[in-house]
Amino acid sequence: MLSEDDLIRYARQVIIPNFNEEGQEKLLGTKCLIIGAGGLGCPVALYASAAGFGYIEIYDDDNIDLTNLNRQIAHKNNTIGYNKAENLVKECLKINPNIIIKSNKKKFDRSCDISNFDLIFDCSDNPEAKYTINFLSHLSKKTLISGSAVQMEGQMAVWKSGLNKDYPCYECIFPKTIEIAPITNCREAGIIGPITGLIGSMQVNEGIKEMALENYDSRAGYLFLYDGLAQSLDKIKLTKNKKCPVCSR
């Protein structure tokens, strides 16, 4: 049951039809994992905290540097050199001190246990991490919401292959290959800050709907592509790979 403080803090959410107090209670009972505390992780964590996800854990072993500040909005000039996950936790608690939020300064890998989480946000910026997150999410039957952004483009998708065998997983659509892949990280290709803000906001929006809304028609099985130059958003229906090494077993 929501406290008086909760009713005031989340007043603009609980008045939304199909969300109500029950939806807020579900969010407060949700445990979510955020992998990456950079360009995507910052808006995801800030908005998830503000919305009232009750338990949040953030993974990132990287430290803040000056080149991060054009997009990693939770980090400031005076926090350069600090661990990203630790600093992001501090900023989130300034917004909402009533939630439980923790940092983990280690690299996310297959040894990480995600079984206690309800929702996974993939805010990583490298393929190796994304394949690992996808594998563990499928294996543990978790809802995974992934985002990526580079230059003036971004994409977002909800993956639920572990919960529904008809849905594709990340590796169905982006299979591993021995060919040299195009540069997809902002460190080498560049990035405009508002792109990460938009994609991160979309990730949290889907997370709220997945966790809090009754009779919600999930957007799993679609890929959303945003082009900041053309100011366009496309939705593509995805097809499951029947021979996918992760989710076809």
Q: pLDDT tens digits for 176-235?
A: 986 655 556 666 789 999 999 999 999 999 999 999 998 889 999 999 999 999 999 999
CB 167 within 8 A of CB 220: yes
List, in sequence order, the alpha helices (H) in the chain: 4-9, 11-14, 20-28, 41-51, 84-95, 127-139, 170-173, 186-189, 193-212
The pair phi, psi for residue 101, each rounded to 5°, is: -140, 130
Neighbours of 96 (CB within 10 A): 19
Instruction: Please report how many Cα atoms fall inside a 13 Å half-sphere around the Cα of residue 77, on the Cβ side.
Output: 0
pTM of the model: 0.95
pLDDT at 185: 67
Report percent pLDDT > 90 for the chain. Answer: 92
Residue type, 66: L
Q: Quick: pLDDT tens for 71-113.
A: 999 999 999 999 999 999 999 999 999 999 999 999 999 999 9
